[in-house]
Amino acid sequence: MHHEGGELTRPSLELLAAGRKVADKTGEKVVAVLVGHGLKPLLREPLFYGADEVVYCDDPRLKDYLALPYTRVLTQMVEAYRPNVLLFVADEIGRDLAPRVAYRLVTGLATDNIDLEVEDFYYAPTKTTYKNILAQIRPDFATRVAKIYTPRHRPQIATVRPGNFRPLARDETRRGEAREFKATFDETDFIVRVKEVRELPKGPVDLENAQVVVSVGLGILRDGEGRARNPLEGWRLAERLAQAITERYGLKTEIGISRALLYAELKELEGLATADRQVGQTGKTVAPEIYIALGISGAVQHRVGMIRSKRILAINIDPSSPIFEIAHYGVVGDLYKVVPEMLDIIQREQVAGKV
C-alpha cells in the first residue's frame, strides 16, 4: 500500500477493492502490506477499506522508497506467508518493484491490468485444469484485451492500473489484526541513499479527479461534410463546452485528448494538446461521472483509459466507430453542429434557472 502525507493514496484504496474482488471469489483473505517508517497511524486504515489483516515492516531505513531494501522486504514476506496472489499499484514504484520481486521468487508477472477475474484454466500441454486461478486482464498491443494466467507458479503477481477500480466505502466497524514483520537486510541493500526529496509541482491538468471529461480526437479535423476544419476551432468548442458544464452544473471538468491527436503534433494545438491530457493505455486512466468523446473513434488503446466512466456520450460522424459499442449515449453527427446545440441547451437551462 502506498501512503503520502500520513494517508493511503487513492490507487492503494483501489487496489484494496481489486484484492477484495479476488478474495471474495477464492475464499481467501485480503492482507494489506505497509512498508516504511512511522506507520502506526496508518495500520487500521486498510481494514476500513476492505483488508482482513495488515502486515507491516517499520524501519527508519525504509522511510524513503529504495528498490533493493523494499524488494528484500517483500520477498521475505512472501516466503514467510506464501500468498496465492500479490497485487501492486501500476505506478512508478509498483512498476519498479513488482518485476524485481517476481524475478527473485521465480514466478510470473502481468503488468498494467485493467481488471481481474477468478476462473478455471485448462493447460493443454499437461491436460490439467487449474481451479480458481487469477485471470489478469490487460490491453494487448493496443488492439485487443488479453487474459493472462499463471497456473503453475505462486504467487500470481499483477500490477493494476489506477482508475480501474472504485475504492470501497469506508467502514470503521471492520476489525482485523496488524502484524509486524521483521525483515533482515544485507548492507549491500543500502548502497543507494536518498540525499534529498523534492516534490515536483503539480500541473494544471487534473484528469484523474475530474467529474466530467470532454475528450477530443482527430475527428475535429473534418466536419460532417468531409471539409477540412481548423483543429483549433474544434478545441475551442470543447473548451466552451467544458466551461459551460462547470458554470451551469458546478462539476469539475477537464479536457482530455486521444493518443492519435497527441501524436499528430498539430501546430494549431501546440501547447494545448499536451501529453498530460492523454487518456488511454499509454496515457491516463479516468473514471468520471460523465465522459464526452468528441471525434474519437474508440480504439482499444483509448477505451481502456475511460471505460470505467459512469456515463459515456460519444459524438462521431462514423456510425461504425468502436466508441459506440461502449457509449451509453451515441450521436452520429457532426460535432461542429452538435456541440453548439448542446451549448444552446445548457445556456437556456441556465437562463431558466435564474428566472
pLDDT recorded at residue 348: 87
DSSP class of residue 289 equals S
> How far apart are the C-alpha atoms of 2 and 89, rounded to whole Å?
8
Domain ranges of the chain: 3-190, 207-354
Residue 45 CB contacts under 8 Å (≥ 6 apart), including other chains:
7, 8
> How far is Cα of residue 294 from the mean position of the Cα atoms in its chain?
22
Q: How far apart (Å, rounded) are the C-alpha atoms in residues 19 and 26?
A: 11
- What does each of the 355 residues of the chain score in pLDDT, given as a tens digit? 787 777 899 999 999 999 999 999 999 999 999 999 999 999 999 999 999 999 999 999 999 999 999 999 999 999 999 999 999 999 999 999 999 999 999 999 999 999 999 999 998 888 999 998 999 998 876 557 788 888 888 999 999 998 889 999 999 999 999 999 999 999 999 999 888 888 877 788 899 889 999 999 999 999 988 899 999 999 999 999 999 999 999 999 999 999 999 999 999 999 999 999 999 988 899 999 999 999 999 988 899 899 889 999 999 999 999 999 999 999 999 999 999 999 999 988 766 665 4
The angle, 0 to 180 degrees and rounded to 10, between the axes of the packed helices 231-249 and 335-354 is 20
* pLDDT value of position 282: 84
Residue carrying the nine cell digits 478455471: 120
What is the predicted pLDDT for the residue at 94?
95
Classify domain 3-190 by CATH number.
3.40.50.620
pLDDT reported for residue 355: 43
Please give the pLDDT value at position 198.
83
Q: In this structure, what DSSP letter does residue 167 have?
A: P
pLDDT for 93: 93
User: Residue type for 25, please?
Assistant: K
C-alpha cell at 140: 494487448
Long-range contacts of 34-37 (CB under 8 A, 24+ apart): 34/1, 34/3, 34/58, 35/62, 35/70, 35/73, 35/74, 36/3, 36/62, 36/63, 37/61, 37/62, 37/63
Computed on alpha carbons and rounded to an integer, the radius of gyration of the chain in Å comes to 23
pLDDT at 196: 87
Decide if 3-190 and 207-354 have a common fold.
yes
8 Å CB contact between 331 and 338: yes
Q: Which three cell numbers stand for residue 261?
A: 491527436
Cell numbers linked to 167:
475504492
Give pLDDT, residue 351: 64
- DSSP 8-state assignment for residue 278: B
- Strand locations in the chain (E): 3-4, 7-8, 31-36, 53-58, 85-89, 109-113, 115-123, 128-140, 144-149, 156-160, 177-180, 212-216, 253-257, 290-294, 311-316, 329-332
Task: Assign a CATH topology to domain 207-354.
Answer: Rossmann fold (3.40.50)
Q: What angle do CA 12, 17, 21 make, to 5 degrees?
A: 145
Q: Which of 155, 12, 186 is nearest to 81 (CA)?
A: 155
Contact 100, 67 (CB under 8 A): yes
Give pLDDT, residue 281.
84
Alpha helices in the chain (DSSP H): 10-26, 45-48, 67-81, 92-105, 231-249, 259-264, 300-303, 323-326, 335-354
Whole-number pLDDT of residue 142: 55
